Structure 1
Amino acid sequence: MNFWVCIIFSTILLIATVAVFAMRIFFPYHRIVALIIYGIGWIPFLYSISLRKKWILSYSGTVSNYLSAFWIHILFGLLMILSLYIFLVLFPPVKSPFFGMSDESIDKQIEQDSLVLLYLDERLSSEFERIESKGIFSSDFETLSKEQKEEIRGFWFSFVELILELDIVKNKYKTFYQLNTVTKKDLHKKAFVNGYAALLSQHYHTMLLAEAVQDTNLMTFLNDKYPEQGLSGGTFDMLKNKVVDSDEILKLNTGRVYYLSLGSNESEMDQLIKERIKKLDAYFSSYSELIAKKPLNFLEKRSFKFWFPIQKEVAKQLSHINTSTRDYHINLDQIHEYKDRFLPGDILLERREWHATNVGIPGFWTHAALYISSLEEMNAYFKDLPELNGKSFGEYIKEIYPEIFNKIQEKDDGGYDMAIIESKRPGVIFMSLEESAKTDSLTVLRVKNLSTADRLKVVLQAMSHFGKSYDYDFDFSTDSSLVCSELVYKSFSGIDKLNLPLSKLNGRLMLSPNEIAQKFSNEFQSEDSEMELVLFLDGNEKKKIAVEKNENDFATSWERPKWYIVTDYTN
């Protein structure tokens, strides 16, 4: 094995390490597997060094002499850098907000901020106690209802807002040292106490939340981006990582020493500080665990950020690759022949042969969509429903979703009405039935016992996701982006007539279109079955046609292999 082969092999293993981290392959053991691959990658790298041993040794003497002559300078330089870092963290060179104010005004401001701090700390504690008392954090995320998830989301928004309020107060007092310890000793202490109390409250409540949230899917849910609240993705991880940042740990511990040196009294602020210090001491092992995990979390997040654009771009390219130029087996005449059978809220499962995306999506059925019908048909179907408050469906939609109202009035390039909502590579979009159902095999499923009001709720919930991006991470824990079957799943949220169980793939909650077909297969002969078959058009690659088949035929379709079309030539 020569030098360059070793380097290339090490590089391939490094890329594999990044892929395992980012894609969470072998979850929950992905980190261990990634570190093993990373460790193996060092073997050819170290061997490559031995191959260049003579070249390295020829320069080793020069390096050794340099280090021997200047080691004291190097050490002193490192100490100077460390000292500068500590100084800038503890004594930030920024102008004090109290500059130019009288002592009386400063004291009044400090007292007001003390009351604000006590309020913020109490609010954080009460918010956490409220959500904890409902047992939501200890529940399996997969079993949580839509209402419970909304409750968590509401708590999360309040929690972040209160933490940020504490941050504002904390930053206001980071220049406490500019209040002279001799001439303004009392003000100096009060200012320090306010800043340190805000820091302790932030740490305590963040550690409290980190301890409570152990479900990886709940973590993903909290890490989702909520632009309407100004929250970018990864806020939960950011808060957890912030409390173990080196500057935060430095402030926490030096502040503790300085607080003791100042002496304390029995004020409410002093009581708060003592209580928070005591409780944070109990979190010593949790701090250690967060610090130990931080490098791995960082690697995993950075790997995902590196890998995600590649994954996204590959998925985009694959979505456009049709390895055959033939027409699809289902034609317009068939679509028009059967469309009168469909109702708003029906689920479509689709398969297109010779598409590259079939390789990456598990199972035979690779796409799901939701039938809503045309605006005219929805006006007729949902007429006089009390939920529409005396309006037609169109008037109601125009009022709550004006952009959607305009969109569903449009025609596609073929002049057909928008009648389908689905998530494809552009995101959640409306399409005509004629365009969406242009496939090789098509199934339409109907949830049993749905009332007209239920169907309205399904349609409205689906429309609420219009315009969201496609979820290239394939994770149902987030709402900001969706895959095709995720749109179907979330459209039926809160509809007790349909229970779609989620599965885990590499640690991410998901439901593939094929699993919807599998659910039908498991239940269709039972009295408790939740879905019924409306239509199954089964494509035949040899005959280039699609023919209608019954529920027994459809019930076994989910078991078909990827290249089932080969059997069309052998049967």
Structure 2
Amino acid sequence: MFARHYGSSSQPVTRLLIVISIFWIGACSSADYRQTPLSDLPGRDLTLRIEGDVRAVQLYRKGLMDILLYIDTHPNLFPQRKQTGTTVLREEQRHAARAVYRSFLDYMLALESIDHYHRDFYRLPGSAREDSLLITYSAFLARYRFAMAFIERMENEPAFDTMLNEQYPELGIPSDSYAALKYRFLHIGRATGFVAFNTLYKAHPGERRPVLRQAIENDRDYVWDAGKWDGPMMTMQNAVAIVQSSGQSAWMPVQAGVAEWMGDTKVLRLGRALINEQQIHTLSAQMQPGDFMLQRREWYLSNIGLPGFWSHAALYIGTAQKRAAYFDDPAVKQWVRSRGITSGDFNEMLQRHFPEAYRRSLEPESDHIPQVLEAMSEGVVFTSMEHSAAADSVAALRPDVSVLEKAPAIYRAFSFAGRPYDFNFDFRTDAELVCTELIYKAYEPRVGYGGIQIPLVEMLGRYTLPANEYARLFDSEYDGTDQQLELIAFLDGIESRGSAIQGGLAEFRESWKRPKWHILTQNAMRRSIADDYVYQSNRADDLLLPDLYAY
């Protein structure tokens, strides 16, 4: 059925199954870090989880829609009709195709993780069961629909087939992933899961979650029209069994959202970071106002749609006492006086010009004084080091600028406090900010101010700045006359040890090259197991197809 629309892949089935199996082994080898089953979540946690995943599905679906919109509005890059003959892709075509494919895979993996976690919906009571069914069905359908639509567009240019099957180390994706994607979503057996879900959906009519229901019906109609097939009659009991059996394994070892979503959604290790409190206190003592941190949380789904190992950035502002000592500088005092504060006191200027923000900067967070200003899902907020640096890897960087240039940077950052988070990652407006945008605009060069020079990255027609770019900038400039950043500390999380170690300069310089889903490749034993599995499985008949691909 669906397979009839597109030519079969030139890659052997054996190779595809090996690729699939590597993904599966990666997921299974993380079994030491068990997530609380959906049905075991206490009432409040279950409510938060459901609300978070409802929002996340809508956000990730919109991300996939934006990708298709970008493709459709750039016919000079993505042909709208089937091309014939041999084509040599232009550099701009290769760059655009790689960019959209990386973002596409990111959203697909995030949706898959949500779909996978909610396959136990039938164990939940009352309205939670219906909500969970709507979440898993909408995530399933979004992936199904947008995979078909994406493949249809890419197949217009045969040269894309070869290029998209390249390895994508920044996501931990091996070669032949595009062939595996086609095998999975264009396979005739995929219809079984579609019909099973539709049977369950029809058994739960109602008005709950109207936005999800609208998305479900739109995506369902698209898939149905694309296939034009008649599904078999199915009982409720069979439908539940099929849906459950097809959701046992995830393509990547991540599950989305325990309590929050998007930028701060922790999934495994149940609240325990690899960096401990003593390491945080030591790091805090090393830092100066105006420094900033790159952060990594291994089991969070952070900045879906953006590539890179480093997923978050936060500005260190210090306590009021630390700022008072650090900015007790004649040049800073003169600058403060020029702004109308006769005392020359920097903190007084912050308090006078931004009274509400300054008040919030003094409010304790779990008995800890805020020292950090960062953009998270709830907006640009003040947080403690104990909260912000409770991550799995952290790098502290210091801009190579004078104290006189750091004061305006912190001043400008205070002006952004309280603004909402920018889920579009668009740097063209100040109304909403993403984490790196706060730092970028605090140190943005302007007339009379040198700041930090870092180029923005164009992604799907928008200019943005993944946190990973700061690590890339450090590496490219290190030991040169134009070096703008100094490494203060690098705490490198080691998942297999359950702790973070003091990383070296060389390790940090290479960190931006790590895959976004770093847990797939960090553990050497896991890689060895995967290699052994591939070596032993040299025939398609020898490969045990994981449940993920059981239709």
TM-score under structure 1 normalisation? 0.46
Which structure's residues are more often helix, by fraction? 1
With a CA cutoff of 8 Å and minimum separation of 6, indicate the structure with the bigger relative contact order.
2
TM-score under structure 2 normalisation? 0.48
